[in-house]
Amino acid sequence: MVSMGDQQQCQIITATAALFLAVCGILLLVVPTEDVKEPPEFMYGIVLDAGSSHTAMFIYKWPADKQNGTGIVSQHSECHAKGGGISSYAGNSGGAAHSLEECMEQAMQEIPKSRHKLTPLYLGATAGMRLLNISKPKESDEVLKEVGDKLKTYPFSFKGATILSGQEEGAYGWVTVNYLLENYIKYGFVGQWLSPGRDTVGALDFGGASTQITFETKQMVENKDNLMKLRLYGRDYQIYTQSFLCYGRDQVLLRLLALLMETQGSDSSIVHPCYPAGHSDSIKLSSVFGTPCNKRQTPYKPDDELQIKGTGNYDQCLGNVSRLFSFNKCSYSRCSFDEVFQPNITGNYMAFSAFFYTHSFLQEATGISIRSPEHLEDATRVVCNMSFQEMTNKVQGQGSRLKDYCAVSAFVQVLLVNGYGFDNLSFPHISFQKKAGDTSVGWSLGYMLSLSNLLPAEDVLLRKSLSSSAWVWDSPGCWILSHFYVHLQLASRQAELYRHSQSTQRVSCQRSWDLQLCR
């Protein structure tokens, strides 16, 4: 039972606490406030990489408040469209647009609906469309218009469908490589973005229809077409970049077939030293010569089939592959091949796309760790001299690509060593990679990084907060009230504990067998 005195004490404490809260509430209403930044929301961007063999979609995200003028971009997810590249749908109305639907639906689901209208959407087409634009410019325009009209139907901010030049493809790949390696900026442990002060890394890209080499150089670039200047994170970069159209994996294989047909003088059957012994194949002549990389001067029947028999001979394969390059003429102080100027190779490089897959296959099939030109030659020789059955037993899951690895490996050997000039000192500085962390290596991330400079940074959200000066002029009054309130709470708590202990003691005495506990 609560006594009259206890009731009066509770009433006094309650009234005092209410008074304290009221006074503090008034103070909080009248003191000055200042705006404090809330963490920004993420911006999203979509890049469709319309390559020669297939289309890949990459979703990127970055904070709305950009660092040093460029968004801090990371890969959110990716999607690989079924079917061939958009150039393969030339003359097939609706095919290119339809091929993008599944990936675009994925983007609709993954990007928050509130950000759809603010999400830029880009489609960049590479060497496959460059070739189509050369051979059939009208059909190239129709394909671009078709995919553009399709992408406009989605609630994103469509920015256009364009064909990238080879130099742009190389430069954006270089941007990607160095961004993933944190060679521009990195987040320091003190919570600031810092410049690591490291040298940049060159980029080696090997696609289906072209190959690119790009690296920063302080040497004079004698051909200004190879010179690009970029500005990222407040710094300027001068890079050399060169794209070789028709030197991509798929086009090289077709050019090699055309060369063998020419040297053997047959449109019906050939022996192929780069195909493994025990393997036979056939291909329509229209597939061999239906590209600007393989213009046939003499008439041929497109529907006729070429029969191919593999012989698996490394030396003969290497000799034929070398004939795809021209090393004889150079009007500059130094050339790589095909009369193209190139500065001396310096620094580290990342090789990706088909470079990675070829390097990975060679190491798996031969067990040779490839760290020098000699290792590359040895591994290629072993693979090229394998029978088809031996190759099948060594490496699983390659399907129709298996027969091509000898030719592609020989091409990579000639390109890197004889073409670009990697030797025993520089070759070990090549890193063959597919991904860096969770991000795919390619030109699309660099494209998004560069284009994010064109996106306005959103105004950050603001909330009200007490200014630091408010705690200066209000501190005496608040301190006195707080001090008084704390003492009242302590006194109230002590009284409550005392009453509780008395009540507990009486109950314990009644239940205990030891009566001395009640004293």
Residues in the chain: 519
E strand or H helix at 76: strand 74-80
Q: Calculate helix-pair angle for 127-135, 166-180, nearest 10 degrees.
A: 180
Classify residue 458 by burial, with Cβ atoms within 10 Å: 0-12, 13-18, 19+: middle
Q: Can you tell me which residue has the tokens 């990607």?
A: 176
| Tokens read off for 379 | 């591994």
Q: Can you tell me which residue has the tokens 């006194």?
A: 491
Structure confidence at residue 41 (pLDDT):
77
Q: Which of 346, 261, 270, 262 is nearest to 309 (CA)?
A: 270
CA–CA distance, 123 with 81 (Å, rounded to integer): 13
pLDDT band at 503 (very low <50, low <70, confident <90, very high): very low
| Greater pLDDT, 499 or 207 | 207
Rounded to whole angstroms, what are the CA distances from 244 to 24, 376, 427?
73, 22, 20
pLDDT digit string, tens, across residues 72-122: 778 899 999 999 999 999 999 999 999 999 999 999 999 999 999 999 999
Structure confidence at residue 499 (pLDDT):
52
Go through the domains of the chain in sequence order and give each one's CATH number.
42-163+440-454 (3.30.420.40), 249-432 (3.30.420.150)
Query: Which of 399-403, 467-471, 494-498 shows the lowest mean pLDDT across its residues?
Result: 467-471
pLDDT digit string, tens, across residues 294-318: 988 788 999 999 999 999 999 999 9
Query: Which of 37-41, 125-129, 357-361 shows the lowest mean pLDDT across its residues?
Result: 37-41
Q: Which of 169, 364, 458, 496 is an active site residue? A: 169
Active site residue 105: no
E strand or H helix at 148: helix 137-151
Q: Buried b / exposed e across 219-232, counting CB within 10 Å, b at 16+? A: eebeeeebebebeb
Kindly tell me if the per-residue pLDDT of 278 is higher than 50: yes
Query: Which of 39-48, 203-212, 349-358, 375-384 shows the lowest mean pLDDT across its residues?
Result: 39-48
Range 312-316, long-range pairs (CB < 8 A, 24+ positions): 312/273, 312/275, 312/276, 312/277, 312/278, 312/384, 312/385, 312/386, 312/387, 312/388, 312/406, 313/273, 313/384, 313/385, 314/380, 314/381, 314/384, 314/385, 314/406, 314/410, 316/273
Q: Are 427 and 354 in contact (CB under 8 A)?
A: no
Average pLDDT, the chain: 84
Positive/negative CA dihedral, 83, 85, 89, 95: positive
pTM above 0.85, yes or no: no
What ranges in 1-120 are assigned the alpha helix state H?
Answer: 4-30, 95-99, 101-110
pLDDT digit string, tens, across residues 193-231: 556 668 999 999 999 999 999 999 999 999 999 999 887
pLDDT band at 28 (very low <50, low <70, confident <90, very high): low
CA–CA distance, 250 with 253 (Å, rounded to integer): 5
Q: Which of 48, 52, 126 is nearest to 83 (CA)?
A: 52
Hey, how many other C-beta atoms are within 10 angstroms of the C-beta on 367?
Answer: 10
CA–CA distance, 116 with 155 (Å, rounded to integer): 6
Rounded mean pLDDT of 145-171? 97
| Greater pLDDT, 513 or 267 | 267
